């Protein structure tokens, strides 16, 4: 009898009450709410750090390239370093900067195969190679082939060309701009000097390391862009083999005066024009050819929208290959590499005029004000509108 009573007690032992179950589930939910965001932040930081490490390798390759070519950085598109062989039907195409630096990263055999007609693989097969060093782990295309997440500093670009950056023939090059400073209605050597001073890498030419008059620690060399286009075998374009500016560089959109090849001055457009041409002689105007008005801003929306040029602008609804601005999926900004090879995280809220001066490589020679402290300037926030 006593054993039966014990057995009945055991069989009728009560479990958790509803209140106790609710309490336990509440505790578990609270712990998850605290822990999961922390884990996500840690993973995001790890991806950001991996991205910056990739960029350092690419940036170092570009710097080493300049050391091998008398200080000249690779051109945006160029034939001097050899041309990529496509096929017997097409022939060869100029090499983008992303191909020119491959031997200095990890891919000398790939580079040699790209240039050689005597190879076992087709152009499409070679161009579709995934190079991890060119890929940000946070890129939406990170699992596709032949992704290029990193873009070079392409200087200042008139807005209509900026909005057509996916076109190979959009006209952005060292020879592509007739600035008003020289007072001549055609592209002169003075115009080329001004264009070169706006950035680092151009088609037709590039900036020499010694020409970085604003300082190598104050000039951006590389940034990210999550909206470049992966390689498409159907078109032979995209990825690190692309020839379109929108896949190879980032640029500052500026106003134009009547033509995409004619940048507007600050007399034409104070907010988005570049250069004070109020002087009575070309020499005086050249000294102010890249000066920025105190009201310079990328907040302008009428008659044209310049907000597209801001860091991380339209990240969720951008036109792939047609948004040559720095962008990333890292919260709050983008990774950049400066010309001195150092890496930084640049806030998407940086002051527009500071950002414009960090893009120009020799702006001080042409009227831009210098940085008192470049690292403090990187933290400066733009005015709210």
- pLDDT for 164-207, tens place per residue? 999 999 999 999 999 999 888 899 999 999 999 999 999 988 88
Pairing of strands 249-254, 150-158: parallel
Task: Look at residue 318 in the predicted model and tell me its pLDDT.
Answer: 82
pTM here is 0.87
Give the Cα separation of 141 and 238 in Å (integer). Answer: 12
Question: Tokens representing 355?
Answer: 């950002």
Candidates 161, 137, 158, 157; CA nearest to 149 is 137
Give the Cα separation of 289 and 364 in Å (integer). Answer: 10
φ, ψ dihedrals at 155, nearest 5°: 75, -145
How wide is the angle at C-alpha 158 spanned by C-alphas 274 and 306, nearest 5°?
A: 85
Residue 114 contacts residue 211 (beta carbons within 8 Å): no
User: Is residue 190 helix, strand or coil?
Assistant: helix
Task: Look at residue 385 in the predicted model and tell me its pLDDT.
Answer: 43
Peptide bond between residue 61 and the one before it cis (omega within 30 degrees of 0) = no
* Helix ranges, the chain (H): 2-11, 18-68, 97-100, 108-115, 123-127, 159-162, 189-197, 245-248, 282-286, 352-359, 374-378
Residue 216 contacts residue 89 (beta carbons within 8 Å): no
Give the Cα separation of 186 and 167 in Å (integer). Answer: 23
Residue by residue, DSSP assigns 231-275 as PBTTTTBSGGG--SHHHHEEEEEE-BSSSTTSB--TTT-TTT---
Question: Tokens representing 323?
Answer: 């948004």
Task: Look at residue 37 in the predicted model and tell me its pLDDT.
Answer: 65
- Give every CB contact of residue 108 below 8 A, 6+ residues apart in sequence: 102
Give the Cα separation of 349 and 99 in Å (integer). Answer: 32
Instruction: Give me the residues paired with residue 223 across strands.
Output: 151, 336
Candidates 106, 113, 140, 117; CA nearest to 127 is 113
Question: Tokens representing 141?
Answer: 């295309």
Q: For 279, which DSSP code? A: S
Task: Look at residue 284 in the predicted model and tell me its pLDDT.
Answer: 80
Give the Cα separation of 192 and 202 in Å (integer). Answer: 11
Domain edges within the chain? 77-378
- Structure confidence by residue, pLDDT tens digits, 71-95: 999 999 987 767 899 887 788 889 9
Give the Cα separation of 6 and 162 in Å (integer). Answer: 85
Give, for all 385 residues of the chain, the pLDDT tens digit.
455 555 555 555 556 677 877 777 778 777 767 766 665 566 767 888 999 999 999 999 999 999 999 999 999 998 776 789 988 778 888 999 999 999 998 767 889 999 999 988 999 899 888 888 999 998 877 667 788 999 999 999 999 999 999 999 999 999 999 999 988 889 999 999 999 999 999 998 888 999 999 999 999 999 999 999 988 888 888 999 999 999 999 999 999 999 999 999 999 999 999 999 988 777 788 999 999 999 999 998 888 899 999 999 988 788 888 999 999 999 999 999 999 999 999 999 999 999 999 999 999 999 999 987 766 666 666 655 4
Q: For 216, which DSSP code? A: T
Torsion sign (Cα): 314, 98, 195, 287: positive
């Amino acid at each position: 009898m006593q054993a039966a009573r014990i057995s009945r007690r055991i069989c009728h032992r009560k479990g958790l009450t509803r209140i106790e179950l609710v309490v336990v589930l509440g505790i578990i939910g609270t712990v998850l709410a605290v822990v999961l965001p922390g884990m996500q932040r840690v993973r995001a930081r790890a991806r950001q750090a991996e991205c910056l490490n990739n960029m350092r390798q690419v940036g170092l390759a570009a710097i080493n390239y300049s050391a091998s070519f008398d200080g000249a950085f690779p051109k945006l598109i160029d034939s001097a370093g050899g041309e990529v062989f496509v096929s017997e039907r097409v022939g060869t195409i100029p090499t983008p900067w992303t191909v020119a630096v491959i031997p200095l990263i990890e891919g000398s055999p790939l580079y040699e195969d790209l240039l050689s007609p005597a190879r076992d693989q087709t152009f499409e097969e070679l161009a579709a190679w995934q190079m991890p060093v060119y890929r940000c782990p946070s890129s939406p295309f990170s699992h596709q082939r032949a992704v290029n997440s990193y873009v070079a500093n392409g200087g200042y670009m008139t807005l209509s060309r900026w909005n057509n950056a996916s076109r190979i023939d959009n006209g952005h090059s060292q020879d592509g701009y007739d600035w008003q400073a020289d007072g001549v209605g055609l592209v002169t050597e003075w115009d080329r000097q001004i264009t070169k001073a706006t950035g680092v890498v151009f088609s037709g030419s590039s900036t020499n390391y010694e020409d970085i008059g604003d300082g190598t620690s104050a000039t951006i060399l590389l940034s990210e862009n999550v909206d470049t286009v992966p390689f498409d075998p159907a078109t032979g374009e995209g990825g690190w083999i692309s020839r379109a500016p929108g896949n190879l560089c980032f640029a500052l959109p500026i106003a134009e005066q009547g033509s995409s090849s004619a940048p507007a001055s600050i007399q034409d457009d104070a907010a988005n024009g570049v250069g004070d041409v109020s002087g009575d002689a070309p020499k005086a105007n050249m000294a102010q050819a890249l000066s920025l008005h105190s009201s310079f801003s990328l907040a302008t929306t009428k008659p044209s929208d310049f907000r597209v040029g801001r860091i991380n602008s339209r990240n969720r609804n951008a036109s792939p290959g047609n948004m040559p601005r720095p962008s990333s999926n890292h919260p709050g900004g983008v990774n950049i590499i400066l010309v001195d090879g150092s890496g930084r995280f640049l806030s998407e809220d940086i002051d527009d005029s500071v950002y414009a001066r960090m893009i120009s490589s020799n702006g001080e020679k042409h009227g831009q004000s210098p940085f008192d402290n470049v690292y403090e300037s990187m933290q400066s926030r733009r005015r709210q509108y």
